[in-house]
Amino acid sequence: MSKDEIKLLLDEMYTGLKDYFEVLGWNVSTVKEEELGGSPDKEIVKYAKENGFLLVTEDRKPADLADLEGSPYVFVSKRSIAELIDSKIREKYLEG
């Protein structure tokens, strides 16, 4: 699969990142744009799967549901965000 074949669906907490993903060359939409704002997780996962989206979420439940449905997703945990920030702080201020 190539980058051009992947469509991202950003869950509600990542709506503000849409512009960044577009600049990086991704085909991207948001839950809000797809008129799914406030919808149950199961409905969002079903929509993503039926419409060929890869779901990007910070919530464990939709990630687990996508996994059970065999739908592509990326789960970005708070731990992975904290580790990234820690790494950047160390790189910039603690390591030479």
Q: Where do the structural domains in the chain lie, given as residue ranges?
A: 3-94
Inter-residue contact 64 to 46 (CB < 8 Å): no
The pTM for the full model equals: 0.89
Q: Which CATH architecture has domain 3-94?
A: 3-Layer(aba) Sandwich (3.40)
What string of DSSP letters covers the chain? --GGG-EEEE-GGGGGGHHHHHHTT-EEEETTTTT-TT--HHHHHHHHHHTTEEEEES-HHHHHHHHHHT--EEE--HHHHHHHHHHHHIIIII--
1 pLDDT more than 80: no
pLDDT digits (tens, 9 = 90+) for 41-59: 999 999 999 999 999 999 9
Pairing type for strands 53-57 and 73-75 reads: parallel
96 pLDDT more than 90: no
